[in-house]
A and B are shown apart, each in its own frame.
Chain A
């Protein structure tokens, strides 16, 4: 029991500490964002060729509706953030999203994607549709693991991205088993996980962004996607050790 009390205390202190330092509204505490998996392939390409081609594979939560939906969604925001922070590197971000796809379906398209786009890094957003369909978590895990292996064999680095934190629908979709399985695949395959679920929950808990609000307005959605794009850029720079390229203007 004492152990539990101590562990609980530790958790509370950490959360409290994280809360205190949230100056930028969508700042993400390091412990949520950074892991120790590295993006070596991406790092090599940047060092050698000063280019980085990123493809985002995902479902409907990787896009926004409307005319300027594409430029407001996180793939475009990621591109903007990376270009700003790594001016000497030629960054391209391509978004290849399609609604209502399970991880298994996406996994099958990855081989073709490697041929078509020849990416150095793939951001693979998944989990929501599988959770809504109630696909067997074990099968989901196998699909994600297979897909990551396909991409790695094809010479691309991978960042996995899990689900959005959506408080209204939280009691309708059981996300936890899928989030756990993505975390385990990330561990096993040594790829970074962008824990969108925990990060958005953090923004919500700290009062930075109200995710409960019912609104037709795209304002909040735009903000969330911009924050995700920036956080994702930080994760990529950290995991590929690109700090030395930061801020340098192109020759």
Chain B
């Protein structure tokens, strides 16, 4: 693999400064595996928190503040960050549980988590239907006669609700949680393999990704088409995150420290930013040579295009370079809000989806100008922070109440805050 080659090729010794980094997991003969599980990396929470904010901002229709989000400056968007970090934390948390409690117990916990997310998804679906039904009930405008047909699903609740329960009918912006559910359902065997041979698990994941592209595997949707986030393709990012958590990141240290990697990553980010700019200005299309655009387009989000994946890797490489694990600001109160949101990702994610509906509702009912867009964006993020802090506080008092204060931070994670 590229990883191995660069490991030896770079001038910084691989795994330098990370004693005991090479996991015993590479020895297939040892049944009991010890995986390096360091303390929780606050950067994960920080960037997942920020990703949750960005997803919220992108989900508000017509939002000037969403010009700040990364999807406008490169190929990948906050979803990649969210899925990668979710894979990382899932492996981090459940990997330890699987080593300590065995396969059955940790698999049961992972499936319980999948069930929780399913329930959350259906809850959001109900809110979505309520919002849409209200916003459009009184709406009439001859200009948008065609678009109003999109609400036909409200006329056939019998079909719509069943298809929603089957995760086949997914309204716009409600695709991430179903993806997450499928990824968690597949996760126990993946984790089992990762703990035995991380490289093999990653190889299988890459193979499935490649076969998906070759044979067009996906899950069907209602009323037609397929899943927006193809789980067979997006699993690559999730498994890659898990692989990084279970020693992969340490193995990549050499690559990540290399100046060459940094410059390649920065050039790629600049390239992607320039390409995206030509989308907004048709006259600048000539700047992109024909051979390049033929090779590059379409950039497929459904199947996690390689360009998107690479863009995420470049972002991650640059981020890791400038934000070290020991970055003092991680402890500062200024970053605390994002970190808290990242630590309660499921709740905050769901809240974000709801708040985006609410923002849309306010804009329809009251005023939809720029001031309102800024106001609902800020208010939404503040509500997300407040709720995350409240959940933290609840977990803290409950942890104390049970008389096992030591378990409280882990209980947070053991729920698979994945």
Contacts from A to B (Cβ < 8 Å): 1, 3-4, 7-8, 10-12, 14, 30-36, 59-61, 64-66, 99-100, 128-129, 132-139, 141, 164, 166-174, 177, 180-181, 183-184, 187-188, 193, 195, 201, 204-205, 207, 211-216, 218, 220-221, 224
Contact A220 B368 (CB under 8 A): no
Interface residues as binary, B108-149 with A (CB distance below 8 Å gives 1, 0 otherwise)? 000000000000000000000001100110111111111111
A248–B140 CA distance with the chains assembled, in angstroms: 43
Contact B360 A170 (CB under 8 A): yes
Contact A214 B146 (CB under 8 A): no
Contact A64 B142 (CB under 8 A): yes
Contact A31 B356 (CB under 8 A): no
CB<8 Å pairs between A and B, sample of 30:
A4-B70, A4-B73, A8-B73, A12-B67, A14-B281, A35-B285, A36-B282, A64-B142, A99-B146, A132-B149, A135-B224, A136-B302, A137-B300, A164-B144, A164-B147, A167-B61, A168-B139, A168-B141, A169-B144, A169-B147, A170-B360, A171-B171, A171-B356, A172-B171, A174-B173, A184-B297, A188-B294, A204-B62, A218-B142, A221-B143
- Inside 8 A of B301's CB, which chain A residues have their CB? 177
Contact A61 B173 (CB under 8 A): no
- Is B228 in contact with chain A by the CB < 8 A criterion? yes
| Inter-chain pairs besides A138-B300, A173-B147, 4 sampled, C-beta below 8 Å | A36-B285, A134-B221, A167-B363, A171-B173
CB distance from A75 to the nearest CB of B (A): 15
Contact A11 B282 (CB under 8 A): no
Contact B146 A60 (CB under 8 A): yes
CB distance from B55 to the nearest CB of A (A): 14
Contact A132 B150 (CB under 8 A): yes
B146's partner among A8, A14, A31, A59 (CB-CB below 8 A) is: A59
- Is B36 in contact with chain A by the CB < 8 A criterion? no
A221's partner among B141, B225, B297 (CB-CB below 8 A) is: B141
Of the stretches B40-48, B245-253, B269-277, B339-347, the one at the interface is B269-277
CB distance from B234 to the nearest CB of A (A): 15
Contact residues, B214-271 vs A (CB, 8 A): 221-226, 228, 266, 269-270
- Inside 8 A of A170's CB, which chain B residues have their CB? 61-62, 360
- Inside 8 A of A220's CB, which chain B residues have their CB? 141, 143
Contact residues, B156-188 vs A (CB, 8 A): 171-173
Contact B150 A172 (CB under 8 A): yes
A169-B151 contact, Cβ under 8 Å, with A31-B283, A141-B298, A216-B142: yes
A23–B64 CA distance with the chains assembled, in angstroms: 22
Q: Which of A14, A132, A218 has the most CB atoms of chain B within a 10 A radius of its CB?
A: A132
- Is B280 in contact with chain A by the CB < 8 A criterion? yes
A3-B142 contact, Cβ under 8 Å, with A8-B67, A167-B368, A172-B171: no
A213–B298 CA distance with the chains assembled, in angstroms: 35
A171's partner among B138, B273, B357 (CB-CB below 8 A) is: B357
B224's partner among A59, A66, A134, A212 (CB-CB below 8 A) is: A134
CB distance from A225 to the nearest CB of B (A): 8
Contact B73 A168 (CB under 8 A): no
A188–B149 CA distance with the chains assembled, in angstroms: 31
- Is B293 in contact with chain A by the CB < 8 A criterion? yes
- Inside 8 A of A221's CB, which chain B residues have their CB? 141-143
A-B CB pair tally, cutoff 8 Å: 176
- Inside 8 A of A11's CB, which chain B residues have their CB? 67, 72, 277, 280
B132's partner among A8, A36, A171 (CB-CB below 8 A) is: A171
- Is B68 in contact with chain A by the CB < 8 A criterion? yes
Contact B368 A136 (CB under 8 A): no
Contacts from B to A (Cβ < 8 Å): 59, 61-62, 64, 67-68, 70, 72-73, 131-132, 135-136, 138-151, 171-173, 221-226, 228, 266, 269-270, 273, 277, 279-283, 285-286, 288, 293-294, 297-302, 322, 356-357, 360, 363-364, 368-369
Instruction: In the A-B complex, list the 6 residue pairs whose CB atoms are closest, starting with the nearest.
Output: A170-B61, A35-B282, A60-B146, A221-B143, A184-B297, A174-B172
User: Nearest chain-B residue to A1 (Cβ)?
Assistant: B322
A36–B369 CA distance with the chains assembled, in angstroms: 33
A173-B150 contact, Cβ under 8 Å, with A168-B136, A180-B298: yes
CB distance from B113 to the nearest CB of A (A): 27
A187-B269 contact, Cβ under 8 Å, with A34-B282, A164-B147, A168-B139: no
- Inside 8 A of B140's CB, which chain A residues have their CB? 214-216
A134-B146 contact, Cβ under 8 Å, with A168-B364, A170-B61, A188-B293: no
A32–B322 CA distance with the chains assembled, in angstroms: 37
- Inside 8 A of B221's CB, which chain A residues have their CB? 134
A32–B221 CA distance with the chains assembled, in angstroms: 34
CB distance from A50 to the nearest CB of B (A): 29
User: Nearest chain-B residue to A184 (Cβ)?
Assistant: B297
- Inside 8 A of B356's CB, which chain A residues have their CB? 171
A183–B275 CA distance with the chains assembled, in angstroms: 13
User: Nearest chain-B residue to A4 (Cβ)?
Assistant: B73
A224's partner among B143, B172, B269, B302 (CB-CB below 8 A) is: B143
CB distance from A109 to the nearest CB of B (A): 18
B223's partner among A7, A133, A205, A218 (CB-CB below 8 A) is: A133
- Inside 8 A of A169's CB, which chain B residues have their CB? 136, 144, 147-148, 150-151
